[in-house]
Amino acid sequence: MLPYIIWTIRRTGGTSFTSLLDNLSSYPSLEHEPFNKNRVYGYITHKYHAGEESTVDEIYQILKDKPNIKHCFEIIPEQINLNILKATQLLGYNQIFLYRSDQAARTMSLILSQATNVWGPKQTARYAPYLNREKKLIIPNDHACRRKMQSDRHLSENMYKHIQKLSSPLLIEFEQLYQECEMSRKTYIEYIFSSMGIYGALDEKVSFAQLHLKKGVTKSTDIRKMIPSYQKTLKYLSKNEVPYSFQKKTRSQLSRFVTNAISRIINTFKS
């Protein structure tokens, strides 16, 4: 298993997925999103905003021990993203692109997190003032939400194209990773592990992954009810959603894996 970098945007299940992989990897782990301004390599981003260019070599040097990385590229300047991409490619990283095909739901999830400061299941106590009606939840209007969704879609498409120029990234879809059907989720996890070169005691690792990913889901159903316009805005965004250009590739990659797995089973019985 190679060191990996997960390219993603916020509210795609990246934290739980990265924590899962960190448990299976022999490479060192970093604080998630290490290039954010308030994180371990945030000084790179601070320097950029102060007018000082970052370089590929600088990032190469700080990553030479090959720590695993979860990177939310939509909040980092493009030039830094490109330097991170080039440095990790030189270091032999496994490039992973995690996305959420339901862009409307992701956008609303992000807006809800920004409004409540709840970013994971361990922070849901922060919902209390809103559920108790001590505080009022206010979200942006439909058009502002739509602009955010479109902007993030554009950034995702653009970043994927940059990665694809240098490597063949493993595309991972949130909806497949966190789906309710355990059998389908198990198959998808097996596909991911196979693509990443994770072998040995595979059944145990897949079972662990199933349990870990279940725990990582933030339940926000109750808090959504506190926003009268939530469903209306979600419906509006869904109508204006344009699928990612790379979605079909994700499905075809998985389809090939399933077909090959079935063939192996059939051949086993034949022999």
Exposed/middle/buried for residue 238 (C-beta within 10 Å: 0-12, 13-18, 19+): middle
pLDDT of residue 221 exceeding 90, the answer is: no
29-66: pLDDT as tens digits:
999 999 999 999 999 999 999 999 889 999 999 999 99
Domains, the chain, in order of start with CATH, read 4-270 (3.40.50)
* Dihedral of alpha carbons 9, 146, 173, 182, sign: positive
181-218: pLDDT as tens digits:
777 888 888 889 988 988 876 778 888 788 777 766 66
63-78: pLDDT as tens digits:
999 999 999 999 999 9
CA proximity to 154, closest of 102, 84, 83, 103: 103
Where does the pLDDT of residue 95 fall: very low under 50, low under 70, confident under 90, or very high at 90 and above? very high
Output the pTM of the full model: 0.88
Q: Are 179 and 188 contacting, i.e. CB atoms less than 8 angstroms apart?
A: yes
